[in-house]
Amino acid sequence: MAECATYGTVAVLQINNPPLNVLGHDVRSQLMSGLQQALQDKAVCSIVIMGKGQTFTAGADVKEFGTEKVFWEPTLHSLVEAVSASTKPVVTAIHGTTLGGGVALALASHYRLADSSAKMGLPEVQLGILPTCGVTQRLPRLVGLQTAVRMVTSGQTQSAQQALTAGLLDKVVTDDLLKKAVGFARSVDVRGLEARRVSSWTVPGADRAEDVLDAARKTLVRRSRGAIAPLTALQAIQASLLPFETGMKREAELGRYLWTSWQAAALRYAFFAERTVKRWHIPRNKNVNYRTAEPMDIKSVGVLGAGTMGVGITISLLQAGLKVVLTEVNKAQLDKAVSLIQRSLEGKSGGKPQPMQLRATTDYSQLREVDLVIEAVFEDLALKKKVFQQLDAVTNPRTILATNTSGLDIDQIAAATQRPDKVIGTHFFSPAHVMRLLENIYGRHTSVETIATAMQLGATIGKVGVLVGNCPGFVGNRMKGLNFTEAMFLLEEGAEPQDVDKALEEFGFAMGPFRVSDLAGGDVHWRRRIQAGLTTEHGPPPYTPVLYRQGNRYSPLADMLCMQGRFGQKTGAGWYRYKSGSRTALPDAEVHRLIHKHRQDHGFQRRNISSQEIVERCLFPLINEGFRILEEGLATGPQDIDVIFLLGFGWPRHTGGPMYYADKVVGLGNLLQSLEKYRAYHPRSAHWVPSSLLRKMAAQGTSLSIWAAGSRL
């Protein structure tokens, strides 16, 4: 856990708690007793604290949060204070990615040394808590308010060089950190100790504090979208302008407030959910799971189609060091794609040319020897089937064939080949080289090896892979579609697009559904509705009522906009209008007139709709569909659905995701009641019929977390 050794007059305490040296109770106890021994040992003049293995420490053990163990003595706070009060100089030697409590220990030490490849960060706000243990008081004294605010409120890591420049480190070294740290510790003098205690310093640039804090507050109010931790952290940093002890009291108060908040619990859940999804199984056959599966070794990947998705996917693969064969029949499109890929990768490497493992070709037969192909052609079932037939003919029979589709039937695509066991859906989110989610979809015949390979490929390219079953829209788009449907009904009943967007943005989404639709292009979903027979390019299909399709209430408003060529930002007009070259959504009188006339034509009585109703009507049907998905065994557990929404659809992280939000914030009984209430008003919308899983859980008074704990391997 923590090992102690002496090198002449230097005592070295080394954390050894693989994989990440988190500071659980055992580690804290051993570090504390090592420190006390070193203080008592007359032969020891200075002390080094460092870590073995891949990192100094990733901070507190998050698994202890929510349990009593985190408060067992020595707490992290006691340990940090003991380091700070040490009568012998303490040098912290940092390597790997040092986070949270690790930075707190370093700040309380008298000297800070790091390996040149080290990174340091304070991710606490991402867990909904405050960096306590004096971090918000010592950091501004060491690096100034501006850097402290940036580090604490963003949670982003700093490189060793950045930390050195900011004053967070005293020295950066290369090679043999132990030897260099011991040498450094030998050179420091106990006589200078008092002056090295950061707590006795004042915050540099305090005369400009008000301007810095005001500017930060404005930015955070806009960016945090309802998350309370960043703004609370700012208040704690402000307290560093007070005497140290007063500031520490304020930090403790604010720390307690966040520690007990529901948002901290939700963010902790999100942290573990992202890691839980890699433990997948197939609900209808639990023998097919991450433990039994053996992935194929993938070294080369073919990407078919060099449009926006193909380019993003190629960049992700190349960044992970894989060989890529990019295939596109249109030579001009291929050349454009290659230049985009080159520019993107040059940007990443700071302008240095990277050895590119990319072969670009118009010739399908070049895919013959790759281990896996990702098809990224236009979202059209007939086209994809044709492409898969060709791929089946040209590629090696052991090659896995993956389709990047956002909702088409994997089984139909697989049926176009002689190897349905080697066909899988890999749904990337746009921009594919930026978005961390990869929704992997198994079909009826997809083999366990193919599933394991797709999940492994996701991890290799730095994505969070979530495995789901095959159904129209899969998990993400199947649920998300209901949100947009209900948003349009709200327009029919009296809301304006900006009212709906504002309510959902206040809930925490970066953009409301109409702004998202304008960004993505309304034509994409319009074509899908046409393919599904819900509408035609000229209006409702013959003999179809305007407000009902396929047995359900239907709003034709989006179709009406598309028929006018209003596809969103790319055409300068959609649900909003856009000035040339601008992405700012401006309310448009044309749209208001169109909605108004539609209401009049169909006898809708306009009424005022509250933000609460907007949020409930847009989100509750989607959550209800999530319960259906669990019931149908299309996702391993609620975490999988939550991760899809957190990483793929901008669901506000501080609410934990749709299923967590329903379970822990709304309450399943309340959710059921609301669904019943809206169902009574909107009997022609099947999405208000509560799922039987939700009914059962609400009746039993059980929770999704209990159900999930029982179902997960």
Ligand X SMILES: CC/C=C\C=C\CC(=O)SCCNC(=O)CCNC(=O)[C@H](O)C(C)(C)COP(=O)(O)OP(=O)(O)OC[C@H]1O[C@@H](n2cnc3c(N)ncnc32)[C@H](O)[C@@H]1OP(=O)(O)O
Chain residues that interact with ligand X, rule: CB under 6 A? 19-20, 22, 58-63, 70, 76, 97, 99-101, 123-124, 127, 132, 275
- Which single residue is written with the structure tokens 């050794």? 5
Query: Whose CA is closest to 489, among 542, 440, 547?
Result: 547
- 530 burial (CB, 10 Å; 0-12 / 13-18 / 19+) is middle
Tokens of 696: 């059962």
DSSP letters, 110-128, are SEEEEETT-EEE-GGGGGT
User: Smaller CB distance to ligand X: residue 122 or 475?
Assistant: 122
User: Smaller CB distance to ligand X: residue 22 or 168?
Assistant: 22
State the nearest-atom distance from the C-beta of 321 to ligand X, in Å.
17
d(CA 579, CA 266): 39
User: Smaller CB distance to ligand X: residue 274 or 375?
Assistant: 274
State the nearest-atom distance from the C-beta of 540 to ligand X, in Å.
50
State the nearest-atom distance from the C-beta of 398 to ligand X, in Å.
30
User: Smaller CB distance to ligand X: residue 76 or 376?
Assistant: 76
- Which single residue is written with the structure tokens 């959902």? 504
Distance set, CA 603 to CA 64, 497, 547 (Å) = 58, 20, 11
Tokens of 496: 């304006």
State the nearest-atom distance from the C-beta of 461 to ligand X, in Å.
13
User: Smaller CB distance to ligand X: residue 20 or 301?
Assistant: 20
State the nearest-atom distance from the C-beta of 283 to ligand X, in Å.
20
Other Cβ atoms within 10 Å of 19 Cβ, number: 9
State the nearest-atom distance from the C-beta of 267 to ligand X, in Å.
10
Query: Whose CA is closest to 124, among 250, 3, 251, 213?
Result: 251
Distance set, CA 10 to CA 4, 29, 131, 183, 193 (Å) = 11, 20, 30, 9, 16
d(CA 338, CA 201): 54
State the nearest-atom distance from the C-beta of 588 to ligand X, in Å.
43
State the nearest-atom distance from the C-beta of 258 to ligand X, in Å.
10
User: Smaller CB distance to ligand X: residue 63 or 368?
Assistant: 63
Determine the distance from the C-alpha atom of residue 210 to the mean position of all C-alpha atoms in its chain, rounded to a whole number: 33
Query: Whose CA is closest to 117, among 95, 102, 92?
Result: 95
User: Smaller CB distance to ligand X: residue 152 or 561?
Assistant: 152
Query: Whose CA is closest to 401, among 372, 379, 433?
Result: 372
Residue type, 395: T
d(CA 560, CA 564): 7
d(CA 672, CA 59): 40
User: Smaller CB distance to ligand X: residue 100 or 302?
Assistant: 100
Distance set, CA 548 to CA 8, 543, 552 (Å) = 84, 11, 5
Cβ partners under 8 Å of residue 396, min gap 6: 368, 369, 370
State the nearest-atom distance from the C-beta of 128 to ligand X, in Å.
10
User: Smaller CB distance to ligand X: residue 51 or 469?
Assistant: 51
Cβ partners under 8 Å of residue 579, min gap 6: 572, 586
Q: Looking at beta carbons, which residue is closest to ligand X?
A: 100
Determine the distance from the C-alpha atom of residue 355 to the mean position of all C-alpha atoms in its chain, rounded to a whole number: 29
User: Smaller CB distance to ligand X: residue 136 or 406?
Assistant: 136
State the nearest-atom distance from the C-beta of 10 to ligand X, in Å.
26
State the nearest-atom distance from the C-beta of 23 to ligand X, in Å.
7
Tokens of 2: 């923590």
Q: Are 614 and 490 in contact (CB under 8 A)?
A: yes
User: Smaller CB distance to ligand X: residue 20 or 108?
Assistant: 20
d(CA 88, CA 98): 23
d(CA 335, CA 321): 21
User: Smaller CB distance to ligand X: residue 123 or 465?
Assistant: 123
State the nearest-atom distance from the C-beta of 238 to ligand X, in Å.
20
Output b/e per residue, 597-607; b: 16+ Cβ within 10 A: ebbeeeebeee
Tokens of 166: 């900011």
User: Smaller CB distance to ligand X: residue 99 or 694?
Assistant: 99
User: Smaller CB distance to ligand X: residue 122 or 374?
Assistant: 122
Q: Are 232 and 260 in contact (CB under 8 A)?
A: no
DSSP letters, 160-205, are HHHHHHHTS-SEEE-S-HHHHHHHHHHH--GGGTGGG-GGGS--TT
Q: Are 128 and 268 in contact (CB under 8 A)?
A: yes
User: Smaller CB distance to ligand X: residue 101 or 508?
Assistant: 101
State the nearest-atom distance from the C-beta of 51 to ligand X, in Å.
12
N-terminal to C-terminal alpha carbon distance within the chain: 28
State the nearest-atom distance from the C-beta of 681 to ligand X, in Å.
44
DSSP 404: -
Inter-residue long-range contacts of 541-546, CB under 8 Å, 24+ positions, other chains counted = 546/602
State the nearest-atom distance from the C-beta of 561 to ligand X, in Å.
43
Tokens of 429: 């989110």
State the nearest-atom distance from the C-beta of 60 to ligand X, in Å.
3
User: Smaller CB distance to ligand X: residue 19 or 351?
Assistant: 19
State the nearest-atom distance from the C-beta of 574 to ligand X, in Å.
38
User: Smaller CB distance to ligand X: residue 127 or 376?
Assistant: 127
